[in-house]
Amino acid sequence: MLTTIELPQEVVHFELPEAVQSRLQFLLDKQDEGEALTPEELAEAEGLVDLAEFLSYLRLKGRRVQQDT
């Protein structure tokens, strides 16, 4: 059975808030500079990356839906 999911048009504009993006960038830069992240920072960074990837997925799906209509 196929299920149709309705996506709001605004989904193509979903992105991390600037403060969250800045925090993620800080953690990634810290790691790139050779500093070890604490277990808490590592978990935070992984969660933020997962969230960013999910939002990217939603944007892509939203664009495809718009193109198909």
Q: Running along the chain, 69 residues long, what does each successive block of 10 average in pLDDT?
A: 70 83 97 97 97 89 75
Domain of residue 42, CATH code: 1.10.287
Residues spanned by the domain of 63: 15-68
Token pair listed for 5: 């999911």
Residue 33 burial (CB count, 10 A): 7
Q: With beta carbons less than 8 A apart as the criterion, state whether 28 and 48 touch.
A: no
Give the count of domains, the chain: 1
Read off the pTM: 0.75
Token pair listed for 32: 């790139």
Is residue 58 situated within a structural domain? yes
The reported pLDDT for the residue numbered 8 is 66
**Four-point Cα dihedral 44, 50, 53, 58, nearest 10:** -120
